[in-house]
Structure formats: structure tokens, C-alpha cells
Structure 1
Amino acid sequence: MAQIPEPAARDEEHQAAEAAARIEADRVLLEHLRQRGFTGPSYLQFESALVDYALPVMKKWMRTGEIFKQCRQQGRPVHAREGLSQRDRDDRHELASLTVAHALKHFRDHALIKAKWRPTGDWLF
């Protein structure tokens, strides 16, 4: 008689299958965008989705101070003169928006166009 997998094993298998499906969908999207030169309506929709994800993350990191840890881990330490958590919400939003806009351009120019990024999340240096 076949043994029924434990619920935890089924959850791990399900998560692995979902991760594989996401990676494949990202691979297909990346190829679609590459064929169009990372321009046009498809790229704008992709870029909008990146902003929808990145902006709230950046604002939270600024509010909590996590941004300093993240920068330090990337070898780009930033020293705060005053805590971002104390700043006005509008200032934080403006700084986060500028940061995300700069990061989008960098990601497009270096990761996508120069093919330095893979859907698995790996970077080729």
C-alpha cells in the first residue's frame, strides 16, 4: 500500500511547485520583455508592478531603519544624520519614490539589458 505523505511534506511539495511555476512565469515574461527591447506597454506594465511592490517596502525600511542594514549588507553603508523614522511621512514618500525610480533605471540598464539577472533571483557579475 502506498504511503500518504505527511501534511508538512505536501506543503513543502506544493511550495516547491509554486516556486517553480513562478520562476517559469518570470522566465517567459523576461523573454517577452527582452524581445521588445524592454520598452513599450508590456515593459511599462512590468515596471508598474515593480513600483507597486518596491515603494511600500522602501517606505517601511525607511520607517524602521532596515534600509541602513540593507545598504550595509550590499557594501554601500549609509550613515543617517537623523532617523528616517522621525521624518515627515511626505518626506519619506518622496525619498522612497526617488530611490525606487533610480533603482528601476539601474535594474533595467544593468540587470535586464545587460542580462545580469535571472528569474531564479541569481545575479551574474
Structure 2
Amino acid sequence: MKVKYIIIAQVILLAGAVVLGLILKGDLADGPRVLHRAIGGLAGGVSLISAIVMLRHGIGMTQKTLSWVAVAFSFLAGFAGSSLRTVGSYDMMFGLMSISGFIALAAAIALLVLVIKRDSVANTTK
């Protein structure tokens, strides 16, 4: 499987988790939050798979760094989201979750741009 398609799935899942999180702010009902948790968990898993694939393919250091930044911040967003109800400051943990999700999404988008750019350069030199 091409690395580009894994990163595209990662970007879609992270964007879905970020958008759902912003829509559900302040809504503590469990119904819609389950979908948000599932998409966020999938995004974290796909981010980890993407980072492992980057390591195995020997891709450049910038791409590896961006992939691990996306993993770290998607896991941090998941941790902050899971501790929203147990921590006294809901706004602080929601802010941490939101910022972490946005950083993970930005890193994944930057990674996708670099991989697409690398692939287009490789195709023009053939």
C-alpha cells in the first residue's frame, strides 16, 4: 500500500475528529461522543501505522518527524479527551484536546504535502 493513501486516511480521520469535537463542545451526552471517540481512536491508530511505515520505508527525517508529531499530538488529544470528566477544569482539558488535535491535523497535512511533492518529483525524473 502506498504511504500517500495511509496519510490521506489519517488526515480524513483527524479532520473528522477535530470537526466533531468542535461541534460537540459542551455536549456531555454519551451518544454522539462515542462516534467522536471512535474516530479519534482510529485517527490515533492510523497515525501510529503511518509513522511505523515511514520508519520502515527510510523516508527523510522531516517526514519521519512530522509523522511522529502527528502520533504524539493525536495521543495527547485522546488523553485530554478521556480525562475531561475527571479533571476539575473542563475548559483547560478541552483546550488541550483541541490544540493537540489541530497540531496533529496540521502535521498530517504537512506530511501529506511533502509526500505528494516527493512523489511528483520522482515521477518527473523517470
Give the TM bin, normalised by the shorter chain: 0.3 to 0.5
Give 1 or 2 for the bigger CA radius of gyration: 1
TM-score normalised by the chain length of structure 2? 0.33
- The two structures have a TM-score, normalised by structure 1, of 0.34
